[in-house]
Amino acid sequence: MRKLLLLICLLQLLSSCNAQKDERFELFLENFVEVNLPVNPTETINSFDRDWEHYITEIEFDNYLRTSLDSIWEFNENYQYVYGGKFDIDLNKVGVFYRRVYFADNIDNQKSEIILCVFDYKGKLIARLPIAGGYGDSIAFSSFIQSPKKIIVKTKNYNFEKVKDNIEYFEIKDSGKISLLTE
C-alpha cells in the first residue's frame, strides 16, 4: 500500500511538471500585445506607437522562431524583427504574429513578412505561416485572422503588365498545425 501511495504521488508530480508552462517562454510572450480576434495583423503592427516598437533579439529568434526554412534571415543592420500580437487558441496553444524585414539596397530584393506562429505553452513551435508582407515589387500579400479556424490570406502577383489575385483560406487544427482549406 505504501509503495502504491508513493507511486501515485510520483505520477502526480511528474504530470504536474509536464503541464507547467515554461517561464522563459512566458517572458518571451509578454513582449507581444494581446489582441482580440478577428484581427488584421498588418494594421495591428502598423498601429503600434513607434515608441512601443520592441525588437526581437537574436537569442529569442533562435530559441523560439527560427526553423530550417530561415536560412536567409540574419541579424545585422539590414534586418529587423518586431514583436506583434498574440491570442489564445485554446488552453494548450497560443498564436503569435511578428514582422521581419530585410532592407536590401535594391527594392527587387527586399523582403517583408508577418509570420503567424502556433506554440504550445512550453515554447514548442508547432506551425507557422507567412500571412502578410511582400517580396520586392513582385508579390504582396495581406491577411485577416477571423478565428483560429478561418485565416484569410490574399496575394497579388505582379508580372509585367498582369496582376494575378489569389485568396487562400487556412485553419489552425486542434493539433496546432496550420492547414490550407479546400472548398
Mean pLDDT for the chain overall? 87
Report the predicted TM-score, pTM, of the whole model to 2 decimal places. 0.85
Q: State the pLDDT at residue 17.
A: 44
Q: Are the CB atoms for 116 and 128 separated by under 8 Å?
A: yes
pLDDT digits (tens, 9 = 90+) for 96-152: 999 999 999 888 889 999 999 999 999 999 999 999 999 988 899 999 999 999 999
| pLDDT band of 50, cuts 50, 70, 90 | low
Per residue in 78-87, pLDDT (tens digit) is 999 999 999 9
